[in-house]
Amino acid sequence: MKLLSTKATCNSHGQDSSYFLGWQEYEKNPYDEVKNPKGIIQMGLAENQLSFDLLESWLEKNPDVAGFKRDGKSIFRELALFQDYHGLPSFKKALVDFMADIRGNKVTFDPNHIVLTAGSTSANETLMFCLAEQGDAFLLPTPYYPGFDRDLKWRTEVEIVPIQCTSSNNFQITESALLQAHEEAKKKNLKVKGILVTNPSNPLGTTMSRNELNLLIDFIKDKDMHLISDEIYSGTVFTSPNFVSVMEIVKDINDFKDFDADVLERVHVVYSLSKDLGLPGFRVGAIYSENDKVVSAATKMSSFGLVSSQTQYLLSAMLGDKKFTRNYLSENKKRLKKRQKMLVSGLEKAGINCLKTNNAGLFCWVDMRNLLSSNTFEAEMELWKKILYVVGLNISPGSSCHCDEPGWFRVCFANMSEDTLNLAMKRLKDFVANSNGEGCSSNNSSKKSRRITQSSRRLTRKSFSNWVFGLSSRDHREQEER
Ligand SMILES: Cc1ncc(COP(=O)(O)O)c(C=O)c1O
């Protein structure tokens, strides 16, 4: 008898992607300033640890809330018993107000149209279950968040068809890319149920333009499909252009033009507090939809991933404190901006450029094409392994995000201290300097690039270790064995 079900063992979970493998390698040898100064620095995790002090100071000032008290009296029993899958009304109200605030109150959200879920992971999967049959497809612009292969496909058996975006226009979505993806799906006999985008984008760290959003709306209108906008990073936009939510566009069109009301019912927003508030452990996400049928089906499905009542209680008080949340959002953005600048200038010193349009998120989309030994994904893997095992940085290769062009990497900047980021940049700079002896930039001539990569190939893993860490021969052996 087979112990496990086919579903439990099928490999569409995506766990074997280099994105997750990098995390595993980091877990085996994590950097610690004191205990393991030669360890791997985690730069492949989009966590926001920059503003915990603000949250902690709010908790200190509001001890009743974390102590499950209301007006000084314990509400422990009330919270322990609460199990309504519609969620606490006070929390839903506070959450929609917070979402509106992030969007400059240009759009408002009705708490009756929100479904609470255990993070965006659960929200995205729930939407797949609600909107698509097994074997139907969603179109996703590349590069995309590697977790989507697991979240959207694994249990639902929905297919992802990539919308191929390229560096030639900073990876913006074009009509021809949309049409091509749609054709591709048709060739595979897949019924396309919709498009899913992340805005701001993970991994690009960019916001979508109004043009792109209008293009998407026109496309789903024309092809009679859904649009899901995962806006999990909406509160991280640290520099212009400002964030524009798809809801703003849809509602504008709805208000001022002769608009097909049906389209409004086919646009759904996903949100979570994992990034903007830095609380992935709390598992708080949401689906927002103006479609009553979707809200009703998703609410039923949310039984499989509810947000615990004490978490809802705590966050309804925190998000309900508008003075606090407004200050938090503005301070957090300032901190993100500073960090992003540190990363960009650190990389520049190493001769490496980032996507220029980066204005949001917890990461940069980094162009390391000039460090590749050839313009192939094999060469990208080769470079990734060097950076992981020898330089000691876990970054995410573009191929794990389904990027069409080899040599791009996502590098996170908000999950570590400034000192650790500086050390990471130093390691990288030394790596590049030792690879080419004179630094390199992305506008190097191909001749120079070839020289760099040839010399980098000449450096063995052992010799890399030597100059990066100054390792002893015993350390080398340990490194090699890992
Ligand atoms: C675009 C995107 N969607 C969803 C998630 C999952 O977030 P959550 O912790 O809310 O499940 C992530 C996490 O990195 C993400 O980047």
17-59 pLDDT, tens per residue? 888 888 889 999 999 999 999 999 999 999 999 999 999 999 9
Asked if 31 is an active-site residue, the reply is no
Which of 116, 120, 148, 362 has most ligand 1 atoms within 8 Å of its beta carbon, as the pocket-test mutant? 120
- Cβ distance 92 to 100 under 8 Å? no
Q: Choose between 438 and 136: higher pLDDT.
A: 136
Q: How far is the CA of 208 from the centre of ligand 1 (A)?
A: 18
Q: Is the CB of 400 under 6 A from ligand 1?
A: no
Asked whether the predicted pLDDT for residue 482 surpasses 70, the reply is no
Q: Choose between 312 and 452: higher pLDDT.
A: 312
Instruction: Give the active site residue among 149, 230, 276, 367.
Output: 230
pLDDT tens per residue across span 158-197 = 999 999 999 999 999 999 999 999 999 999 999 999 999 9
Q: How far is the CA of 232 from the centre of ligand 1 (A)?
A: 7
Angle CA(396)–CA(398)–CA(400) in degrees, nearest 5? 70
Give the chain's mean pLDDT: 89
Asked whether the predicted pLDDT for residue 462 surpasses 50, the reply is no
Q: Is the CB of 202 under 6 A from ligand 1?
A: yes
Identify the band that residue 251 occupies on the pLDDT scale cut at 50, 70 and 90: confident
Q: What is the pLDDT of residue 463?
A: 41
Which part of the chain is CATH 3.40.640.10? 82-320
Closest residue to atom 3 of ligand 1, CA basis: 120
Q: How far is the CA of 62 from the centre of ligand 1 (A)?
A: 29
Q: What's the Cα-to-Cα distance from 411 to each of 205, 220, 250, rounded to whole Å? A: 10, 32, 33
Q: What is the pLDDT of residue 258?
A: 56
Element containing residue 313 per DSSP (H, E): helix 309-320
Q: What is the pLDDT of residue 472?
A: 35
Distance CA 123, CA 301 (A): 10
Asked whether the predicted pLDDT for residue 448 surpasses 70, the reply is no
Distance CA 152, CA 145 (A): 11
Q: What is the pLDDT of residue 252?
A: 78
Element containing residue 320 per DSSP (H, E): helix 309-320
Q: What are phi and psi of 442, to 5 degrees?
A: -70, -20
Closest to 42 measured CA to CA, from 419, 431, 367, 411? 411
Q: How far is the CA of 228 from the centre of ligand 1 (A)?
A: 14
Q: Is the CB of 119 under 6 A from ligand 1?
A: yes
Architecture of domain 82-320 in CATH? 3-Layer(aba) Sandwich (3.40)
Asked if 328 is an active-site residue, the reply is no
pLDDT tens per residue across span 220-241 = 999 999 999 999 999 999 999 9
Element containing residue 191 per DSSP (H, E): none
Q: Is the CB of 203 under 6 A from ligand 1?
A: no
Provide CB contacts within 8 A for 464, sequence distance 6+: 386, 390, 391, 431, 434
Asked whether the predicted pLDDT for residue 79 surpasses 50, the reply is yes
Q: What is the mean pLDDT of residues 72-88?
A: 90
Range in 60-69, 256-265, 271-280, 369-378 with the lowest mean pLDDT: 256-265
Q: What is the mean pLDDT of residues 85-110?
A: 95
Asked whether the predicted pLDDT for residue 423 surpasses 60, the reply is yes
Q: What is the pLDDT of residue 450?
A: 40
Closest to 108 measured CA to CA, from 120, 118, 95? 95
Distance CA 390, CA 193 (A): 44
Q: What are phi and psi of 272, to 5 degrees?
A: -165, 160
Q: What is the pLDDT of residue 259?
A: 61
Asked whether the predicted pLDDT for residue 471 surpasses 70, the reply is no
Q: Is the CB of 198 under 6 A from ligand 1?
A: yes
In this structure, how many other beta carbons lie within 10 angstroms of the beta carbon of residue 400?
26
Which part of the chain is CATH 3.90.1150.10? 6-47+329-474
Asked whether the predicted pLDDT for residue 476 surpasses 70, the reply is no
What is the number of residues in the chain? 482
Asked if 232 is an active-site residue, the reply is yes
Range in 5-9, 77-81, 134-138, 251-255 with the lowest mean pLDDT: 251-255
**Secondary structure (3-state) at 290:** coil
Q: How far is the CA of 363 from the centre of ligand 1 (A)?
A: 13
Which percentage of the chain shows pLDDT scores above 70? 88
Asked whether the predicted pLDDT for residue 461 surpasses 70, the reply is no
- HSE (side-chain half, CA atoms, 13 Å) at 41: 28
Q: How far is the CA of 270 from the centre of ligand 1 (A)?
A: 10
Distance CA 209, CA 169 (A): 12
Q: What's the Cα-to-Cα distance from 105 to each of 96, 100, 108, 248, rounded to whole Å? A: 11, 5, 6, 10
Q: What is the mean pLDDT of residues 336-344?
A: 98
Q: Is the CB of 58 under 6 A from ligand 1?
A: no
Token pair of 77, please?
A: 């029993």
Which of 17, 202, 412 has most ligand 1 atoms within 8 Å of its beta carbon, as the pocket-test mutant? 202
In this structure, how many other beta carbons lie within 10 angstroms of the beta carbon of residue 449?
20
Q: Is the CB of 230 under 6 A from ligand 1?
A: yes
Q: Choose between 223 and 12: higher pLDDT.
A: 223
Q: How far is the CA of 119 from the centre of ligand 1 (A)?
A: 7
Q: What is the mean pLDDT of residues 117-124?
A: 97
Asked if 38 is an active-site residue, the reply is no
CATH number of 6-47+329-474: 3.90.1150.10
In this structure, how many other beta carbons lie within 10 angstroms of the beta carbon of residue 174?
18
DSSP calls for 390-430: II-EE-EEGGGGT-SSTTEEEEE-SSS-HHHHHHHHHHHHH
Q: Is the CB of 285 under 6 A from ligand 1?
A: yes
Element containing residue 91 per DSSP (H, E): helix 89-102
Asked whether the predicted pLDDT for residue 338 surpasses 60, the reply is yes
Q: What is the pLDDT of residue 257?
A: 57
Distance CA 176, CA 172 (A): 11
- Cβ distance 295 to 289 under 8 Å? yes
Q: Is the CB of 121 under 6 A from ligand 1?
A: yes
Provide CB contacts within 8 A for 28, sequence distance 6+: 482
Q: Is the CB of 272 under 6 A from ligand 1?
A: yes
Find the farthest-apart pair of alpha carbons in the chain and give their distance in angstroms, rounded: 73
Q: Please, what's the b/e burial string for 236-271 (b: 16 or more CB within 10 A of its CB; e: otherwise)?
A: bbbeeeebbbbbbbbbbbeeeeebeeebbbbbbbbb
Closest to 388 measured CA to CA, from 150, 31, 15? 31
Distance CA 334, CA 347 (A): 20
Q: What is the pLDDT of residue 116?
A: 97
**Secondary structure (3-state) at 151:** helix
